[in-house]
Amino acid sequence: MPSLFETDIRKLKGVGEKRAALFAKLGAPTVGDLLRLYPRDYQDWSEVTPISEAGIDEVCVVRGEVASPPTEQRIRGGKLMHRCTVTDGVSDMKLTFFNNRYIPSLLKEGEAYLFRGRIGASGRTASMVSPEFAPADRSAEIVPIYPATQGLTSRSVAQAVRSAMALLPDTLEDPLPGEIREQYKLCYLGYALENVHFPKTMEDLEIARRRLVFEEFLVLQLGLMEIKSGSRQENLHPIPGGFPEEFTRLLPFKLTGAQQRAVTEGVKDMSGPSTMNRLVQGDVGSGKTAVAAALCWPVIKAGQQAALMAPTEILAAQHYKSLSGLLEPAGVRCGLLTGGAGAEHKRVREGIRSGEIELAIGTHALISEKVEFHELGLVITDEQHRFGVKQRMALAQKGASPHMLVMSATPIPRTLALMAYGDLDVSVLDELPPGRQEIATYLIGPDKRGRAFGYVRKFLDEGRQGYLVCPLIEGDESGMMSLEEYLPRVREAFPGVEVAALHGRMKPAEKEQVMAGFAKGDTRLLVATTVVEVGMDVPNAAIMLIENAERYGLSQLHQLRGRIGRGKFQSACILISAARNPESVERLKVFKSTNDGFAIADADLKLRGPGDFFGQRQHGLPQLKIASMSMDMELLKEAQKCARRIYRSGALEGREHMLLRGEIRRLFEKTGGGRVAL
């Protein structure tokens, strides 16, 4: 088959210069590409439904004899309309056609045809408007529908595919070795191609599709694994192996099993032959900071420095406070470096340069030119989605390929993590520390807002703080709640309560000030847009109200809700929404039903597809031709297993996988080398 990928599409009968250009537009400049241009849909003519059993609104194929010659009528606008009745011997069906003057010559009285269309009702009789039709003796078949383009119909693509199929040798070499096909019960490539294009039955199509989807996933995974191993660098900062027990004794709690696993994985990386590149992915509150600190420990003990970069001053200060409190008594010197200048700034910079400061915590101030490290062994970025790869790299440049640890609270289903974070190994914290209170979540209509405010009041009276979230800063024609409208309402509803507003158009310094006021407890209610979504850790905040909750995706709602339930207080989240459309209702119901970030991520994936996960995060993942990450999850998992096995055994280099390597090259070369970036 590889040779067919070098065979120009013009080799096919009926494809000249002009058509070749159109095929190229569809992504099929060669015969091989054309065979991999799969139908986007199928019309099933293989199953004929008796008229009496055809349900209204269903798309059916009906076999009917034309009972009387079609009548012709001119209707408004000069449109031509034909009508006739057909019968299957038991029931009648009425047909209407518009603007097709050939109808009388195409539909002959007394002859039988197959009609395919959506069933309607004309009084008590079934009907179809402008159905497709074909002579009844045509072999009942499933018609592939191809992506088409101006000047090239699905039908002509199908014809070209037919002649391309004829060029295939009888025994086609299959990129999937027989052993894999057998183990995963996958059909042979020749069968798959024949049946993905021209299936006889829907079962055959399913068998074909399953194999092709598996192959595509396998090729994708293997390619990503290769990229990942290619980006590995020699470990210039090896540390001794072994679990940092000494560190864990400093903690006021016992690490969860998930935390222990993540630490073990990180230590193994850093004591191994190549640089660590690891993502720790854990739900809000899963205890990523402790994992980070545990991994700093052996690095510092080995005489090197570690740096922890947070996206905001508040977060950096938060980390500094808790980590220095923990580590300084054990003799580890910590420093905080945020924006600004002055003597303190200089002193910290000096300490970082001399190596006296062993753990540098800060904002992106850490990557400013003035900052130099003595010997930087480990770089940690917190809430990584707030940093670009560039910033992460800039911090890494401060050392000689230091180890990298990236922490993210955006849950991604495990199966997708490899693809979303191509060059990183992933540790998942899928377990919350014990004793967390579940957050109670309620969904109400805007008419109940008054009562919700009353509920908020109760939390305030008990000494708690709260977040009130709305989608807009200024009102617009969408009718959604804006800060402009909301703030005075809130102030009126909560007289005597210190209320502050927070939104994305404020200057960073203003934002920090507002957040600091809230963190200190001076501000009791924070009215905010989604800027509160990241990282704020105010354990005393226990109530959150989200206006126009239908506006947000599941993952975003989850991030928002993660701002509460961080302390020992029972917390509550109230969603306000008037949305009626089933999709929004479903989403909010799912959200109400669970606090588990991974369950939510899975549901989000099912409801909205992977676009959301990959949308902002991933560039350059190859375009899949047939597989769908959200629909074919089970196959993705199987292919992942298979890919790991092949890769680990080193078998990919072998002769039996030569064709598979060709497929990997082909899939990735179209995406400019397939660098997968964060």
- Count of residues that interact with ligand ADP, criterion CB under 6 A: 16
According to DSSP, residue 438 is labeled P
Tell me the residue type at 564.
I
Distance CA 65, CA 88 (A): 6
Residue 570, exposed/middle/buried by CB under 10 A (0-12, 13-18, 19+)?
Answer: middle
Residue 157 or 263 having the CB closest to ligand ADP:
263
SS (H, E, C) 308-371: EECCCHHHHHHHHHHHHHHHHHHCCCEEEECCCCHHHHHHHHHHHHHCCCCEEEECHHHHCCCC
Give the residue closest to ligand ADP by C-beta.
287
| Residue 115 bridge partners (DSSP) | 62, 133
Taking the complex as a whole, how short is the minimal distance between the CB of residue 292 and ligand ADP, in angstroms? 8
Residue 423 or 430 having the CB closest to ligand ADP:
430
Selected binder of ligand ADP within 24, 162, 253, 648 (CB under 6 A): 253
Taking the complex as a whole, how short is the minimal distance between the CB of residue 557 and ligand ADP, in angstroms? 16
Taking the complex as a whole, how short is the minimal distance between the CB of residue 498 and ligand ADP, in angstroms? 25
Of 484, 633, 642, 613, which is closest to residue 553 (Cα–Cα)? 613
Taking the complex as a whole, how short is the minimal distance between the CB of residue 288 and ligand ADP, in angstroms? 3
Site string for ligand ADP, 418-447 (x = CB under 6 A): ---------------x--------------
Residue 1 or 284 having the CB closest to ligand ADP:
284
Report the site for ligand ADP in 600-629 (rule: CB under 6 A).
none
Distance CA 158, CA 141 (A): 13
Q: What SS3 state is found at 547?
A: coil
Taking the complex as a whole, how short is the minimal distance between the CB of residue 293 and ligand ADP, in angstroms? 9
Taking the complex as a whole, how short is the minimal distance between the CB of residue 36 and ligand ADP, in angstroms? 43
Residue 292 or 667 having the CB closest to ligand ADP:
292
Report the site for ligand ADP in 528-547 (rule: CB under 6 A).
537
Q: Which range in 255-263, 521-529, 599-607, 620-628 contacts ligand ADP by CB under 6 A?
A: 255-263
Which residues lie closer than 8 Å to 319 by C-beta, 6 or more apart?
A: 289, 308, 310, 361, 382
Q: Which range in 84-92, 247-255, 396-404, 437-445 contacts ligand ADP by CB under 6 A?
A: 247-255
Angle, helices 633-648 vs 202-230, to 10°: value is: 50
Q: Is 22 in the site for ligand ADP (CB under 6 A)?
A: no
311: left (phi over 0), alpha (psi -120 to 50) or beta: alpha
| CA pseudo-torsion sign 380, 386, 389, 393 | negative
According to DSSP, residue 424 is labeled -
Residue 266 or 287 having the CB closest to ligand ADP:
287
Selected binder of ligand ADP within 255, 300, 307, 326 (CB under 6 A): 255
Residue 259 or 571 having the CB closest to ligand ADP:
259
Q: Which range in 128-136, 143-151, 251-259, 372-380 contacts ligand ADP by CB under 6 A?
A: 251-259
Taking the complex as a whole, how short is the minimal distance between the CB of residue 431 and ligand ADP, in angstroms? 9
Site string for ligand ADP, 395-414 (x = CB under 6 A): --------------x-----
Residue 239 has which token pair? 């540390």
Residue 256 or 555 having the CB closest to ligand ADP:
256
Residue 390 has which token pair? 């560039």
Residue 191 or 598 having the CB closest to ligand ADP:
598
Residue 628, exposed/middle/buried by CB under 10 A (0-12, 13-18, 19+)?
Answer: middle
Q: Which range in 101-109, 133-141, 253-261, 325-333 contacts ligand ADP by CB under 6 A?
A: 253-261
Which residues lie closer than 8 Å to 416 by C-beta, 6 or more apart?
A: 605, 610, 613, 629
Taking the complex as a whole, how short is the minimal distance between the CB of residue 592 and ligand ADP, in angstroms? 22
Residue 210 or 288 having the CB closest to ligand ADP:
288
Taking the complex as a whole, how short is the minimal distance between the CB of residue 387 and ligand ADP, in angstroms? 15
Distance CA 188, CA 171 (A): 10
- Letter string b/e over residues 279-291, b meaning 16 or more CB atoms within 10 A of that residue's CB: bbbbbbbbbbbbb
Report the site for ligand ADP in 265-294 (rule: CB under 6 A).
282, 284-290
Residue 566 has which token pair? 């961080």
Residue 30 or 256 having the CB closest to ligand ADP:
256
Tell me the residue type at 192.
A
CA-only gyration radius of the chain, Å: 32
Residue 123 or 252 having the CB closest to ligand ADP:
252
Taking the complex as a whole, how short is the minimal distance between the CB of residue 254 and ligand ADP, in angstroms? 6
Taking the complex as a whole, how short is the minimal distance between the CB of residue 599 and ligand ADP, in angstroms? 17
Residue 31 or 308 having the CB closest to ligand ADP:
308
Q: Strand locations in 89-241, DSSP E?
A: 92-98, 112-118, 120-122, 125-129, 132-135, 142-145
Do residues 266 and 405 make contact, with C-beta atoms less than 8 angstroms apart?
Answer: yes
Residue 433 or 609 having the CB closest to ligand ADP:
433
Q: Which residue ranges make up the site for ligand ADP (CB under 6 A)? A: 253-256, 259, 282, 284-290, 409, 433, 537
